[in-house]
Chain A
Amino acid sequence: GAGVSQSPRYKVAKRGQDVALRCDPISGHVSLFWYQQALGQGPEFLTYFQNEAQLDKSGLPSDRFFAERPEGSVSTLKIQRTQQEDSAVYLCASSRRWAGANVLTFGAGSRLTVL
C-alpha cells in the first residue's frame, strides 16, 4: 500500500478482555516496529521485526503482550487480559531496511482505551 495502515483506529476494551491490533506496512519494507505512546509522552519501543523474525522484544512490558509477523508483511500486536495501564496509542512503523539507515514511515496509530 501507499502508507502504513493500522486497524482499528480506536478500540475500547473492558479490563480483562483480549485485543488484537493490526499493522499493514508499506509493501516491501523489511523492518517493522511497534511503539506504545501514553498520553502526553513520547513513544516507547515495544518490539522489532526484520521480515518475519522478531529480533527484539525487549520493550514488551509483560508477557501479556505478544507480537507476530508470520509472513513478513502484516503484523499483529496482541494484548491479553488488558489492564487500565495498557491504555495508550500503539504505533506501528516500517522502513525499507533498518532504522539507523532509513527513514521510518509511521501508521496513524491504534488508540486503546481500557475501562
Chain B
Amino acid sequence: KNEVEQSPQNLTAQEGEFITINCSYSVGISALHWLQQHPGGGIVSLFMLSSGKKKHGRLIATINIQEKHSSLHITASHPRDSAVYICAVLPMNYGGSQGNLIFGKGTKLSVKP
C-alpha cells in the first residue's frame, strides 16, 4: 500500500508550458516536502509546507489538508527544470521519530526546448 502517491509518473513538456505535479497521501501529516532530484542523485529541498500555498520564483506549491492533496506548479517551464520531483510527508503519528518521512516514487519531468 502506497501512502504517498504522485501523478503523473512521467511528464514531458515543451519549454514555456505550465506544469502541475500532484501528490496525494493517506495519512495525517505534520508537514509535506517537495524535493527536486537531478540525475546523479543530488536532492534539493524546494518547499516544506503544512498549509496554504508557497511561492518561490517560478515554483508554486499548494496543499489542501482536508483533501490530503498537494500540487507543485512550474510556470514558464525551462529545460533546466528537467528532474525528478519527489513529494514526502511527515506523518502526524510518527511514533516518536521526527525523521521518518514517507516518500512518493517521484515524477520524472522532461522539458524540451
Do A106 and B44 touch (CB < 8 A)? Answer: yes
Complex interface: stretch among A12-20, A21-29, A54-62, A75-83: A54-62
Count, A-B residue pairs, CB within 8 A: 83
Residue of A50, A59, A89, A111 near B100 (CB, 8 A) is: A59
Q: How many residues in A have their beta carbons less than 8 Å from beta carbons of B?
A: 33
Complex interface: stretch among B13-21, B35-43, B57-65, B69-77: B35-43
Number of chain B interface residues as a range: 20 to 34
Do A101 and B31 touch (CB < 8 A)? Answer: yes
Do B42 and A109 touch (CB < 8 A)? Answer: yes
Considering the chains assembled together, what is the distance between the CA atoms of A91 and B42 in angstroms?
9
B104 contact set on A, CB distance < 8 A:
42
Knowing A42-B105, A42-B106, A108-B40, the reply to whether A103 touches B45 (Cβ < 8 A) is yes
Residue of A31, A41, A107, A111 near B98 (CB, 8 A) is: A31
Residue of B48, B90, B103 near A44 (CB, 8 A) is: B103
Interface centre among B4, B40, B43 (most CB of A within 10 A): B43
The answer, yes or no, to whether B11 is at the interface (CB within 8 Å) is: no
A58 contact set on B, CB distance < 8 A:
95, 97, 100
The answer, yes or no, to whether A99 is at the interface (CB within 8 Å) is: yes
Residue of B4, B41, B45 near A108 (CB, 8 A) is: B41
- Within 26-65 of A, Cβ neighbours of B (below 8 Å) are at 31, 33, 35, 37, 40-45, 47-48, 50, 55-56, 58-59
How far in angstroms is the closest Cβ of chain B from A56?
3
Show 7 A/B contacts (Cβ-Cβ < 8 Å), sorted by A.
A31-B98, A33-B101, A42-B103, A43-B88, A45-B99, A48-B99, A93-B43
Could you list which residues of chain B lie within 8 angstroms of chain A, going by C-beta atoms?
4, 30-31, 33, 35, 40-45, 48, 86, 88, 90, 95-106
